[in-house]
Every structure is written in structure tokens, then in C-alpha cells.
Amino acid sequence: MMTTDSTVRAEFIAGLRSLARFLADNPRVPVPSNGATLTVHVVDDSDDKERATVDRVAELIGSAASGGAHYKTTRDFGPITYEALAISQECMDAWQALVSYNGAVSGGGC
């Protein structure tokens, strides 16, 4: 879920800064060699509203939005990518149907 609430934003940004300081102060702690993506999932009561939100975020971050069932916009900050993502209800329903079998079939001890 997304928010622009100033308190939540301040806590989130402080957490990012704290993580950056921790990693800088602890060089033996590994980081992803290929960067990382911070995904903000857009949730609303319709696909159209979710896509409109992604479009607004795209405008705010100076990027384009694109995609079909996975509609997103991204902006890179070096090896870190900020992404706003809306997944269509049809795609979410298909995923829920797939994972509804979780635990019903076993194999290989995975």
C-alpha cells in the first residue's frame, strides 16, 4: 500500500538512512551484487484507479508508465530502483487460484 502521510514518510526515510549507515559501517555485511528494487504496490478498488495512480507516480518521478497486467513505472538511483506497480485483478485472481493448491501437492522435499 502507498501513502504520502508525512509521519509514515519520515519514518520510512529514516529507516532507509539507518540501513545505509549500517551497511556503510559494516562492510562485511553483503549487499546484492546486481542492485535491488523497492516496489510500492498500488492497491485500489479497480484496475483503472490503480493504473491512474501509477500514472500519477510516473509523472512525479519523471518516468513513463507501461505494461499490461503488471502496469508499472520505475526510476533508477544507481543500482537501486524505485518502482510503483499495479497488478490487474485478473492477474491477481489467477495467482490466487494457482497458490490455492499450495500444500495439496508434495514433491521433492522443496
Dig out the grid coordinates for 98 from the structure. Answer: 494457482
What does the domain layout of the chain look like in residue ranges? Answer: 1-31, 33-97
Let me know if 55 is exposed, middle or buried by CB neighbors in 10 A (0-12, 13-18, 19+). middle
- The whole-model pTM stands at 0.84
Mean pLDDT value across the chain: 93
Q: Which backbone phi and psi does 79 adopt, to 5 degrees?
A: -85, 5
Q: Residue 59's pLDDT is what?
A: 98
Residues 6+ away with beta carbon under 8 Å from 65:
51, 54, 55, 57, 58, 71, 72, 73
Q: Residue 108's pLDDT is what?
A: 61
Q: Which residues of the chain have pLDDT under 70?
A: 105-110
